[in-house]
Amino acid sequence: MIIHDEYDTVRFVNSLKTLDYSKPHEITIKIYDPEKTNPQLSLYWKWIDEGCEQSGAFKHGLDKDLREALTTPQIYKKVNGQDSEYYKSVGKMGKKEMSAYMDKVWITLSDFGVVLTNPDELQRRE
């Protein structure tokens, strides 16, 4: 459970009341820090949609092309011992890595004349 405010705290306490106390339970409380924020991914896919709309590209093709052009491939060994590579999906990138990648996406698509939604404008609307 992620606790954002005092209402979530009340929900948490209420959920504790439903536990079977005949068995011990362990609870760990830590600061919530997801690998990436949902707004990051939402904005990324919005940019991909905008890029497709303005360029005629296919959604997953544009995503793949950008990752191949702007990221370093991950190298691994196949069972037969040969080296092979793959490009990390945006879902596997951490927050900092995703931010750096999105900066490159912004610049690259802008260089091709694609007009993307400005993240600063989105924050002002919310």
User: Which residues, other chains included, contact 126 with Cβ-Cβ below 8 Å and sequence gap of 6+?
Assistant: none
The whole-number pLDDT of residue 35 equals 59
Q: Find out whether 78 and 84 touch, Cβ atoms under 8 Å.
A: yes
Round to whole Å and give the CA distance between 54 and 114: 6
What's the whole-number average pLDDT of the chain? 87
Give dist(CA 51, CA 38) in Å, integer: 20
**What's the pTM?**
0.64
* Per-residue pLDDT at 61: 92
pLDDT tens-digit series, residues 18-38? 888 898 988 888 876 665 567
Q: CATH classification of 35-125, choosing from 3.30.565.10, 3.40.718.10, 1.10.10.10, 1.10.3790.10?
A: 1.10.3790.10
What percentage of residues in the chain have a pLDDT greater than 70?
90
